[in-house]
Amino acid sequence: MNDDRHSIFRDAGRDRETAEQIPDTPQTRAPSYRLAFADESFLCRDELRPVRLQLELLKPQMILDERQIDSTVVLFGGARIPSPAEKHKARTQTLADLSHFYDEARLFARRMTEKSVASGNREFVVATGGGPGVMEAGNLGAEEAGGVSIGLNIVLPHEQAPNTYVTPDLCFNFHYFAIRKMHFLMRARAICVFPGGFGTLDELFEALTLIQTGRMNRVPFLLFGRAFWEKIIDWAALEDAGTISPEDLDLFRFVESAEDAAAIIEEWGPAPARDDIPGR
């Protein structure tokens, strides 16, 4: 830490360094003696969950603010979708057939990052989950365009490393899914969803619900691959059942290519949040 602060008190970093240099005695080795904010065992206690939630919200927020990143383009999509060069290793023929979306994600991210670079890497910054598949393609496309990109990873039992194309100092790791989702959407200028599995569906419907209920401004909400999405979700059945309104089907658009998606984002005008929910 530095002393460029609006405070006349000694800063926490200096005190932590000082505390590490004290004599080694039974008293100083006792867990109770550790500074609370430097005590990892203490911070991991169940009672500290509210503090950990706050820290996970604050750390990425502060770093993104320091980098002056004002808006993002979010790419959701399957971790299992291979690149076309690797599609022969796919578990199923369907996954192999979906490999072209890897290239579309890559091209789309490249196109968005060209806009981002023109803004000084402040607007339209590509943000992904930081893993393989579609996420890797998004970060790769951003790197190819000479810009930066964000990776929002999460700790999983089968620990996955971030893909190598995420900008290192914009690569984050989360414990809480809920806080990670907030960071996906807080700066979102557009949400693009590629074919995927449970995680992608979770992200899709969470974001769509926030827009549907007026909790979030409308942004371009683009589903890549109409055939895939209409096969796994019977949107018309939801409307026929009355569980969603016809107007809810206008909250998203199907696209097939990076060019289609980029054109919609270019033409998008202001769209405030809903002030009511049609059909209720």
What would the two tokens of residue 224 be? Answer: 């890549």
When the pLDDT of each residue in the chain is averaged and rounded to a whole number, the result is 95
Q: For the stretch 196-206, what's the b/e string if a residue is b when 16 or more beta carbons lie within 10 angstroms of its beta carbon?
A: beebbeebbee
Give the model confidence (pLDDT) of 115-158 as tens digits. 999 999 999 999 999 999 999 999 999 999 999 999 999 999 88
Q: Domain 69-267 classified CATH 3.40.50.450?
A: yes
The whole-model pTM stands at 0.93
Sequence-distant (≥ 6) Cβ neighbours of residue 93 within 8 angstroms: none
User: If you average pLDDT over residues 267-279, what whole number do you get?
Assistant: 89
What would the two tokens of residue 124 be? Answer: 């339209």
Q: Other CB atoms closer than 10 Å to residue 152's CB: what's the count?
A: 24
User: CB of 226 within 8 A of CB of 196?
Assistant: no
In DSSP terms, 191 is beta-bridged to 74, 221
CA atoms 36, 39, 40, 45: torsion sign: negative
Give the model confidence (pLDDT) of 151-208 as tens digits. 999 999 886 789 999 999 999 999 999 999 999 999 999 999 999 999 999 999 999 9
Please give the full DSSP string across 28-61, using - where no structure is assigned.
Answer: HHSGGGS-GGG-HHHHTSGGGHHHHHHHHHHHHH
For residue 246, give Cα distances in angstroms to 206, 233, 242, 249, 252.
Answer: 19, 15, 9, 6, 12
Q: List, by residue range, all CATH 3.40.50.450 domains of the chain.
A: 69-267
Location of structure tokens 């005590």: 39
Location of structure tokens 């996420």: 135
Spatial separation of the C-alpha atoms in residues 264 and 47, rounded to whole Å: 47
Q: Please give the single-letter amino acid code of residue 138.
A: G
Least confident of 12-26, 49-63, 106-120, 193-207: 12-26
Distance of CA 199 to the CA centre of its chain: 12
User: If you average pLDDT over residues 90-118, what whole number do you get?
Assistant: 97
